[in-house]
Amino acid sequence: MYRTVSILALLLIAGPSGAEPLTNPLSPEPAIVAEGKKLYNRTGCLACHGNNARGAVGPDLTDDEWMRAPSDEMVFNTIKNGRSGTAMSGFAGDLTDEQIWTIITWLRDENRKRKEAVK
Amino acid sequence: MQPNNSSQAPAWRRTIALGTVLLAAALPGAVEAQKHTPVTDAMLLSASKEPNNWLMAGRDYSGTRFSPLATVTPKNVKRLVPVYSFSLGTLDAQNTTPLVVDGVMYVTASHGKIYALDAKTGKEYWQYSHPLPDNIGKMMCCDVGNRGAAVYGDKVFYATPDAHVIALKRETGEKVWDVTIGDWTKAQTMTVAPLVVKGKVVVGMSGAEYPTRLWIDALDSETGAQVWRRYTIPGPGEPGFDTWGDQDPEASAYGGGSTWITGSYDPDLDILYWSTGNPNPDWDGMGRIGDNLYTNSTLGLNPDDGSIKFHYQYTPWDVWDFDGVNETILADVGGKKVWLHGDRNGFLYKIDRTNGKFIWAKEISKVNWATGFTPEGRPIIAKDKVPTYDHKAMNVCPASEGGKWWNPMSYNPNASIVVIPSREICADILAGKSERVEGKYNLGIAEADWIKGHGQLVGMDPVTGEKKWQVIAPSPFTSGVLTTAGGLAFAGTPEGEFKAFDLKSGEELWSYQTGSGIVGSPISFAIDGKQYIAVPSGWGGWTGWATWGGKGGAPHLKNMRKGGTVYVFALFDR
């Protein structure tokens, strides 16, 4: 199942540019979510964004209050290419596209949990 | 982006370009030009006695951050008002300490910038911007900051995140030399304020959150050529190499030991004191069982060749990321030549600076990772506070940032007090198996939950180590501290408040909101007999204590506004 999703992800990523906005091809299965958290920690994201991505000197990645609406494409591009002029580097050389989507899957799951917690 | 020198040539420089001495002498600007007298060894050696300038990051070779200026006092400090503000043009951690030489301020900013300005008016003389690689941010654990510059002769020196050390002409900002001393792709990065000793520009390295082996360099101030390099971790066959255990044959080769806080210098003893940081991986000690020399130590160095005369190690086998890199303040206390060092491990140390021997260590904040010291000064470890893969050490005090975080304290010899920016925060820690890849984080941590605590500013007696007073605050004091002969201590907060305290009682006397968190250090200087106080403002850096998660340290800070401004204050003139 995971492999199928991965292939789908790669097809989506490799698809024609400028057409449909990028969307996360991965589903929030527990294994993918757990892998996302692991990748987040290993990559050092926690140094700026905090242990649970709830923000430190870098912004909270688990709420809905990014600079703009946090679309999948925006989050993906920010992780992949960074934000020029800030401390946010691009991680294109460190993470594969699939790994970036895996991290995003975990972040989305954290966002979901937060929303459920306040219901 | 290319270096951008000299945005607007000051009047005096244009005048000199004409080469007309008579004309130059006739213009007001020319008077300023004459003030660019070379900074000599004699000036640096007597910096503590000269009240008007601020010639090096710690103000003097002892690193006291004590200003002899006394016009601003507890009685009149409420009349302190801003004279001007100067935008640093960048965001993120503004960790700098400005310098002032004969009315000219040299101030570094985050992201590789430095400025010269009229310290009286805030008018920019020149700026220099070093182009940084796009991805430098991820090679710096704790933001793209810079801690300040150094001046000597006709030059100003500063280090850049990508491990360049650059010399500029003080008068024009033109580049004289630019040398690369580390490989930033391996996280050998720089944030340190250099120290000039006997014509050599001494600098240290950041990067011990990544697998690398770090050093202190001395460079020729005229050319940038390396005079000596002192690795802080011994190589095979050198004394101390056997303190890295035999679990991992490459542990010491990637063992960290950073040197990113400026050292101090005793010209009478001719000893350079420079402290070293944590081993890598930070929390996973299983592959490096031993003392891990010379991490978490202060080294007593021969400034001519970098050889080690002696050392004192604050935290052997650090598995808490206590680091040990903080400053050493040289003081003559109770008839003894000592250094004072406030450590992230929670202790204020007094060490004999003639030989590195332990005198005492006193708690700045609550400490429970150690239960005491041997007579030789070795900490006695509380075993239940040692995190391993299968033991989550609960309520370890202090958390990894202290105690006292890196921001420098101040020693006031007049009042016999050391004022320490501090916090009371503990943490639960579970170590994790580390994965060593060059250029990648290697923290060795599985779980870290900070426990809610508070900030404090602590005044301690350097003779006895007793606390004279303590100011409690909602969050840690994150600035350096300035004390003055006027009887004041100045410090800043993450909330952006720049505050003045009575040195005798700790009573808060004055406060000014700077608009962003303060993580740099205040200074004081005088021009035409008038005392000024300056402080950089601009939030950033590593703030695990505040917001890393778990039970939280000071979560109200997580959306703190960024900024980049130097504020300069003076007493209101009626």
pLDDT along chain B (574 residues), means of 10: 39 36 34 69 98 98 98 98 97 97 97 97 97 92 95 98 98 97 98 98 97 98 98 96 96 98 98 98 97 98 98 98 96 96 98 98 98 97 98 96 94 98 93 93 88 92 98 93 98 96 98 97 97 97 65 70 96 85
Whether the Cβ atoms of residue B531 and residue B543 lie closer than 8 Å to each other:
no
B449 counts as catalytic: no
Which residue in chain A is spatially nearest to B438 when comparing CA positions? A94
**pLDDT value for B14:** 37
Nearest-angstrom CA–CA distance, B497 and B561: 13
Q: What is the maximum alpha-carbon separation in chain B?
A: 78
Q: Are B149 and B130 in contact (CB under 8 A)?
A: no
Q: Select from B140, B540, B549 the Cβ nearest to the Cβ of A52.
A: B549
Which is the catalytic residue, given B217, B321, B323, B343? B321
CA-based angle A14:A65:B146, to the nearest 5? Answer: 85
CA B417 to CA B458: how far, in whole Å?
10
Could you give the 3-state DSSP secondary structure of residue A35? Answer: helix
Q: Which of B435, B550, B559 sits opposite A42 (nearest CB)?
A: B435
Mean residue pLDDT across chain A: 81
Please report residues of B whose CB lies closer than 8 A to that of A90. 134-135
- Cβ–Cβ contact B92 with A under 8 A: yes
Which pLDDT value is given to residue B9? Answer: 38
Set of chain B residues whose Cβ sits within 8 Å of the Cβ of A46: 548
Q: Classify strands B482-484 and B66-67 as parallel, antiparallel or unpaired.
A: parallel
Q: Does ipTM exceed 0.90?
A: no
CA distances from B406 to B11, B142, B147, B343 (A): 40, 12, 11, 8
- pLDDT of B495 reads 93
Confidence of residue A11 (pLDDT cuts 50, 70, 90): very low
Q: Which of B176, B128, B174, B126 is nearest to B10 (CA)?
A: B126
User: DSSP 3-state assignment of B118?
Assistant: strand
Strands B155-159 and B113-118 come out as unpaired
**Banded model confidence at residue A66, pLDDT cuts 50, 70, 90:** low
Q: Which of residues 406-435 of B touch A (CB under 8 A)?
A: 435
β-bridge mates for residue B104, sequence order:
B101, B118
B353 in contact with chain A, both atoms CB, cutoff 8 A: no
- Please name every residue paired with B180 in a beta bridge, in sequence order, or none if there are none: B164
| CB-closest option in B138, B541, B543 to A91 | B138
Helix axes A97-118, A2-14, angle to 10 degrees: 110
- pLDDT on residue B30: 37
* Yes or no, beta carbons of A54 and B549 under 8 Å apart: yes
The first and second tokens of residue B252, run together, are 């010491």
- Mean pLDDT over residues A74-93, rounded? 90
Crossing angle, helix A72-81 and helix A97-118, to 10 degrees?
A: 130
A82 vs B555, higher pLDDT? A82
- 3-state class (DSSP) for residue B384: helix
Output b/e per residue, B462-471; b: 16+ Cβ within 10 A. Answer: beebebbbbb
**Residue A13 confidence class, pLDDT cut points 50, 70, 90:** very low
Residue A53 has pLDDT above 70, yes or no: yes
How distant is the Cα of A105 from the closest Cα of chain B, in angstroms? 19
Alpha-carbon distances of B370 from B30, B187, B280, B312, B540, rounded to whole Å: 60, 31, 21, 17, 31
pTM of the model: 0.90
CB-based contact B29:B17 (threshold 8 Å): no
- Name the residue with tokens 């199928």: A4
Task: Locate B27 and state its tokens.
Answer: 């213009």
* Interchain contact B156–A (C-beta under 8 A): no
Q: What is the pLDDT of residue B34?
A: 40
Rounded to the nearest 10 degrees, the angle between the axes of helix A97-118 and helix A30-43 is: 110
| Contact assessment for residue B256 and residue B278, using Cβ atoms and an 8 Å cutoff | yes
Q: Which residue of A has its CA nearest to B450?
A: A51
Look at residue A70 in the predicted model and tell me its pLDDT.
Answer: 76
Of A47, A51, A84, the CB nearest to B550: A51
pLDDT given at position B550? 55
Contact B136, B42 (CB under 8 A): no
Tokens of B301: 């160095």
Are the C-beta atoms of B268 and B303 separated by less than 8 Å?
no
- Reading the block at residue B386, the tokens are 């040692």
**Residues in chain A whose Cβ is within 8 Å of chain B:** 41-44, 46-48, 50-52, 54-57, 59-60, 82, 84-91, 93-94
- CA angle centred on A50, ends B163 and B447, rounded to 5°: 105
Which residues 503-522 of chain B have a CB within 8 Å of chain A? none
* Residue tagged 């060490």 (tokens): B351
CA distances from B74 to B352, B500, B505, B510, B513 (A): 34, 9, 11, 9, 19
Q: What is d(CA B243, CA A84) in angstroms, rounded to the nearest whole number?
A: 43
The pLDDT of residue B198 is 98
Cβ atoms within 10 Å, residue A19:
7
* CB B553, CB B561: distance < 8 Å: no
Residue B461, SS3 per DSSP? coil
- Chain B residues within an 8 Å CB radius of A91: 138
* Mutation for B interface: A38, A41, A48, most B CBs within 10 A: A48
What's the pLDDT score for residue A68? 58
Please check whether residue B248 is in contact with residue B287, taking contact to mean a CB–CB distance below 8 angstroms.
yes
Q: What is residue A14's three-state secondary structure? A: helix
Question: What is the Cα B99 distance to its own chain's centre?
Answer: 14
Strands B417-431 and B445-460, by their bridges, are: antiparallel
Whole-number Å distance between alpha carbons of A23 and B188:
37
Interface contact B440-A94, CB threshold 8 A: yes
User: Measured between alpha carbons, how far is B438 from B513 in angstroms, rounded to an integer?
Assistant: 42
Task: Give A102 to chain B, closest Cα distance, Å.
Answer: 19
Q: How far is A7 from chain B (nearest CA, A)?
A: 27
Calculate how close chain B gets to A19, using CA atoms only, in Å: 28
Give residue B5's identity as a one-letter amino acid code. N
Residue of B149, B147, B109 whose CA lies nearest to B129: B109
pLDDT at A64: 74
